[in-house]
Homo-oligomer: A and B are copies of this chain.
Amino acid sequence: MDKVFQYIDEHAEQYLDWLVEACNQPSVSAQNLGMTEMKELVKRFLSKVGVESEEIETEKYPIIYGELDNQKERTLTFYNHYDVQPDDPIEEWLSDPFKADIRDGKVFARGVADNKGNLIARICAVHAYQQVYGELPINVKFIFEGEEEVGSPHLALFADKFPEKLKTDAIIWEGGTRGVEDKRLNVGLGVKGICYLELVCRGARTDLHSSEAAIIENPAWRLIWALNTLKDKEENILIDGFYDDIKPLSEKESEFIRSMHVDEERMKELYGIKAFLKNVTGDELKEVLTAEPTCTICGISSGYTGEGSKTVLPSVAKVKLDFRLVPNQTPERIAKLLREHLDKHGFEDIEIIQSHGIHPFNTDPEDMFVNVVLDSVAEVYDEKPVVLRNLAGSSPMYKMLKNTDIPAVQIGVANQQSNYHAPNENIFIDDYIQGIKVTSSVIKNFR
C-alpha cells in the first residue's frame, strides 16, 4: 500500500483531533460568531504544513490565502470556506452543535460536513504527504473564504483583484458526497446557478377591512395572476427566451448522468410523495434533476397568515422566487427576461428585488484533471464513483473562476445524509479518513 495511506491510517486519531478542534470553534458568518477565532485557527492549521498564510481583507471576513510554492510544474488549489451555517433550530440537536460529538462512527457538529471536514482533510493530506516524502510533487494553494454561507459577496472581487493568486492548473472544490445505501462517491464537475429574487406587488397604503375588496384592488390577486403567467401546470417556464441559452448535454455528460444512483422508492417514502414531478422516473429523472432549470416559489406571503380568520384586504403581496440555472444561463439575463415578461403581461407595477445571483459552472468532462481525480478515487474506494455533470444545488464556483478554463472538481468527506444546513450535521469518520487519502492521491497523481 501507498506509504502515505499507511501514514494517514497510523495518524487517524491525530487527524480526527484536528477536525474536532476545528468544529469546536463556532464560526457563524451570518451571526458574526467566532469568526476572528476561527480565522486564527485556520492560520494555525496552515502553519502545520509550513504555509505562512495571509489575510485578504474584505468588508467582513477575510479570505485566508496560502501557498506552498515548491517550484514544481503544476499547481493545485484547494477552495474551502471556514464559516458555517447558524445552529438553529437548536432544540433539535442531540448534542452541542459546537462541541463535536463522536458516536456511531460519526462526528456530529455544525459545519463538520459543510465544510470543515473537507477543509481540514485537505490540510491533513498535504501534511501526511510531507511527513512521508518531505515535499509535495506539485505546488499547492489554499483559498479559504469566510463568507460562503452568506453568499460569497467578495469572492468575485478577490478573483478580479488577485489574478496571480488564482493562477493554478486545477482546483479541488468543496462539495461532493458519498451515497449511503449506494456507497459510491459522487464527484462533481459543477453546479447549477441561481437567480433569487423577490416580487413585490402593492395595493392600498395600509391593510383595509376586506369588505372594501369590492372596490379596492387586492395585490395578492395581482401577484397570483402574474405568477400564473410564469409557469404552467406542465411545469413549462413561460418567460420568452428562458430556455434559449441552455447548452445541450454532451454524450459523455449524458453517460455520467445515467450512471447516477437515485433510489426512487426510498426518496418517495422519505418525502412522503406518491410520484415525482410529471411522473418522471429512471434516466429522465436523473437528467431533469441535473440538467433542467427551475422556477421555484420559495416563499409567498400577503395579509393575515396567523391562526383562525381575519377579514383583511392586504396592502402588499410578496413572493420569493428561485430560478436554478444550467449552463449557459445567467442570472442577469434571467432577471432581465423576467422584467420584460411582467411588463408584457401588464404587471409593470410589480417590483423585482434581486436578492442574489450565481452563474452556473461546469468543468469540461474531457479535461485530464477529471481523470486524475477519478484515478485517485479508484485507489481508495472499491466502488467506481458517480460523476455528476453538475450538482442540483449551487456554489460560488463561477464567482472565482468566471470564464477561465481552470478545471474544478468537487470531492468531499460528507454523505447524502449529512444534514447539511440542518440539525445533527455529521460525517462518517471513515469517510473523513478516506477523503484525506483521496486528496493525497490527487497530489501524487497530478504531478
Chain A residues within CB distance 8 Å of chain B: 192, 194, 196, 198, 203-206, 208-218, 220-221, 224-225, 227-228, 231, 233, 270-273, 276-277, 280, 285, 288-289, 292, 294, 296-306, 308-314, 317-318, 320, 322, 324, 346, 355-356, 391-394, 420-421
Contact check, A276 vs B210: say whether CB atoms are below 8 A apart.
no
Asked if B392 contacts A212 (CB within 8 A), the reply is yes
B304 touches A271 (CB 8 A): no
Report yes or no: A298 in contact with B294, Cβ–Cβ below 8 A. Answer: no
Q: B273–A309 contact, CB under 8 A?
A: no
The answer to whether B314 touches A298, judged by C-beta atoms less than 8 angstroms apart, is yes
Contact status A215-B300, CB under 8 Å:
no
Per a CB cutoff under 8 Å, which of B203, B210, B272, B322 touches A311? B322
Q: Tell me which residues across on chain B come within 8 A of A273, comparing CB atoms.
A: 203-205, 216-217
Given A224-B227, A271-B205, A311-B322, also A215-B280 (CB < 8 A) = yes
A299 to B277, CA, bound (A): 27
10 residue pairs, one from A and one from B, having the closest CB atoms: A205-B272, A299-B303, A301-B305, A211-B392, A220-B297, A213-B296, A228-B228, A299-B304, A204-B271, A211-B393
17 contacts between A and B (CB under 8 A): A196-B309, A204-B271, A204-B273, A209-B393, A209-B420, A212-B289, A213-B294, A213-B324, A216-B276, A218-B296, A218-B297, A221-B227, A233-B346, A298-B303, A298-B310, A299-B303, A308-B355
User: B299 contacts A210, CB within 8 Å?
Assistant: no
Partner of A313, one of B194, B228, B296, B306: B296
Residue of B nearest to A194 (CB): B311
Q: Is the CB of A302 within 8 A of B299?
A: yes
Q: Once the chains are docked, how many angstroms separate the CA of A296 from the CA of B224?
A: 12
Q: Which B residue sits closest to A197, measured CB to CB?
A: B309
With A and B bound together, what is the CA distance between A216 and B297 in angstroms?
A: 12
Task: Tell me the minimal C-beta distance from A428 to chain B in angstroms.
Answer: 21
Inter-chain contacts of A220 with B (CB < 8 A): 297, 299-300
Contact A320 B313, beta carbon cutoff 8 Å: no
Identity of the chain B residue whose Cβ is nearest the Cβ of A287 in the assembled complex: B214
Q: Which of B203, B270, B392 contacts A214 (CB 8 A)?
A: B392
A302 near B297 with CB under 8 A, answer yes
A310 to chain B, nearest CB (A): 6
Tell me the complex Cα distance, A217–B192, Å.
Answer: 19
In the complex, besides A194-B311, A198-B309, 5 extra interface pairs with C-beta distance below 8 angstroms are A203-B273, A224-B227, A233-B346, A298-B304, A310-B320
